[in-house]
Each structure stands twice: as C-alpha cells, then as structure tokens.
C-alpha cells in the first residue's frame, strides 16, 4: 500500500461548536472529548483511535467527518425540543440528527438513479442497521430526522430502545430505584430487537425464528417494522411531495422481508409492496437498485451503505483536493 496522504475519521457527534467537517488539532480534540457522553457507543471508543492514528501518522492531516453535519441546517421547528428555555440556552438541549455520512452518500446515488439533480428532490431516507433512523430531505437539505440530542431517540434499533415516554424513565427511577447507569446500559445495550426477542439483535435470526413459530421473534419484527413505518411516514409529513423512499444500512440492504413489511403498509403515502429482491452481490457491486414495480406509487430504492466512501469525499473536500 502507498503511504496515506490523509486520514478521515468518522465521528458521530460534533457537539454545538463544530458545524462542519474539520481538521483535528488540539482544540478540536478537546471539543470532541467534551461531547463524548452524548454518543457514548460511538465517540468514546472513536477517540482512542483518533489518538493512536495521530501518533502513528503524525505528518499527515487527520480530518473529523461528522454524522451531524448533514443536519446542521435543520429548521428551528424540527431541531427544537419543547422544554424550558434554560435547558435549551444553557444546556444546549436540541435535536442534532445522525447517520449524516450515510445520508449524504445515499442522496447522491438516489439523484443519479432517478436522473434528477439533488436540489430538486424530496425524499425520505431510512438508514437501518445497528442504529436506525429516518430523514426527510427537501431540495438537498435535511429538514427533519428521527434521532435527536443523542443517537438513542427515534426508531427501534438492534439493541437500542428508540423513543420512549420520558415519564417511563422517571417512573423507573422513582418507583423501582433504577440508577442512571442501569438505565443507560439497558437502553443502549439490552433493548430494541434484542430486548423484545430475548435471543438476537439480528433481523436475519429473527426472520428464521419467526418462521419456526417463535412468538417473541415475531413481536420483535412487528414492533420494529411498525416503528420504521411510523418514522418514515412522519418524515414524509415534512415534505411537499415524496419523490422516493430510500433504504440503506445493513438491514436496509440485506433484509427483503423487512423492506416488504414496511412498504406494504405505507400505501397512505403512496408507497407499495410487491418489491423486487435484488441479488446482494449485484447490489454491492453496482451500489444501488430500484426495487419497486415502477408501475404506480412512489419509487423505492436500495443504496449500498457508503459511509466509508463519503468520509473519503469529505476528507478530500476539507483538504481542497
């Protein structure tokens, strides 16, 4: 391999002070440490990697590429929580949104597939993997998304709960004495598909188990797809029209049963079932596939996840290459 000219790092959360992809220096490194607790599953383990890479490759630039940047211009009504002004002004409580690198890549591929410019598209993008979210894009800009201050809000995920009544957390603390650490561990690592099924966080396992009569696996999948439909439909409500629904992420790419169950019950927004099932190897090679019947209804596409490629794009952009 040739010597690297630069290193791009995926950093999930930028925090309030960094609004663009940027070179990592001492100031940026300190700001990242300050927001690590907002994405503990992602930023906390990423920082030692940043430090090791900077130590091993001290003479090349290191660029932080943020998942939050795609959503930096969210409209006020979409990013604002209905909480006391002090919480918003002093504590910085607001919706950030995530999966932005994935969404950036998927949006560009969708525009190519439909033969339309990005700034003339209104689409809902659904990233479904270990973490899951949906995003409304109007004319190339994110205008709404399901994740919030942290990557815990929104859709049901593999091991994360997604949105939960905040009153339930207060009740668990007061009535059952659960500590903050216990809640954190349960909501981040033992909820979602794993918590519902009791056996697996992988939809492939759950589809097989459901076929064998496992009622818990069936409930996990039904709850998951219901959550996805709810999130997708709510994102469509932030658009003037729906030009396409786009799936990406490991589940979005490789779980046709899940895609079908989501789309077949979204006729209210013009999405229909009866989807084609592309060969995974072909999808990975070509990068995208249109999978709807293309007779009527909203186009449905699958885009192979391109976060790594997007990091390369953003790193070159920061360096002016």
- 11 vs 36: CA distance, rounded Å: 10
Return the structure tokens found at 178: 């659960």
Phi, psi of 122 (to 5 degrees): -125, 110
Return the structure tokens found at 117: 């410019």
226 half-sphere exposure, CB direction, 13 A CA radius: 9
Return the structure tokens found at 156: 């049901």
Active site residue 67: yes
Q: CA 193 from chain center: how many Å?
A: 16
Per-residue b or e along 59-85, where b marks 16 or more CB atoms closer than 10 Å to that residue's CB: eebbbbbbbbbbbbebeeebbeeeeee
Kindly give, in sequence order, each residue whose CB lies less than 8 Å from that of residue 147, ignoring residues fewer than 6 positions away.
Answer: 95, 96, 97, 98, 99, 131, 133, 153, 154
Phi, psi of 112 (to 5 degrees): -65, -45
CA quadruple 164, 166, 168, 174: dihedral sign: positive
Q: Which of 306, 320, 308, 185 is nearest to 249 (CA)?
A: 306
Q: Per the residue annotation, which of 34, 67, 119, 184 is the catalytic one?
A: 67
Phi, psi of 303 (to 5 degrees): -120, 125
Provide the annotated active-site residues: 67
């Amino acid at each position: 391999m040739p010597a690297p000219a630069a290193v791009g790092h995926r950093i999930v959360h930028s925090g309030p002070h960094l609004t663009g992809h940027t070179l990592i220096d001492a100031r940026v490194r300190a700001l990242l440490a300050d927001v690590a607790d907002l994405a503990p599953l992602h930023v906390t383990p990423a920082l030692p990697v940043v430090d090791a890479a900077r130590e091993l490759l001290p003479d090349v630039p290191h660029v932080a590429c943020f998942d939050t940047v795609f959503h930096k211009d969210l409209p006020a009504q979409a990013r604002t929580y209905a909480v006391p002004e002090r919480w918003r002004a002093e504590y910085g409580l607001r919706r950030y949104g995530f999966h932005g690198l994935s969404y950036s890549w998927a949006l560009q591929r969708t525009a190519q597939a439909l033969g339309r410019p990005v700034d003339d598209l209104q689409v809902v993008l659904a990233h479904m993997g270990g973490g899951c979210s949906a995003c409304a894009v109007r004319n190339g800009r994110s205008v709404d998304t399901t994740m919030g201050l942290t990557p815990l809000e929104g859709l049901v995920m593999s091991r994360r709960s997604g949105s939960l009544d905040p009153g339930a957390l207060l009740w668990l603390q007061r009535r059952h004495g659960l500590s903050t650490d216990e809640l954190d561990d349960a909501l981040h690592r033992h909820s979602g598909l794993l918590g519902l099924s009791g056996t697996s966080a992988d939809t492939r396992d759950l589809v097989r188990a459901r076929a064998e009569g496992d009622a818990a696996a069936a409930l996990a999948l039904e709850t998951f797809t219901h959550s996805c439909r709810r999130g997708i439909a709510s994102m469509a409500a932030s658009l003037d029209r729906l030009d396409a629904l786009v799936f990406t992420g490991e589940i979005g790419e490789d779980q046709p049963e899940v895609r079908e169950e989501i789309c077949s019950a979204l006729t209210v927004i013009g999405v229909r079932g009866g989807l084609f099932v592309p060969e995974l190897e072909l999808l990975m090679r070509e990068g995208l596939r249109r999978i709807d019947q293309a007779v009527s209804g909203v186009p449905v596409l699958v885009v192979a996840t391109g976060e790594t490629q997007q990091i390369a794009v953003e790193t070159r952009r920061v360096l002016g290459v």
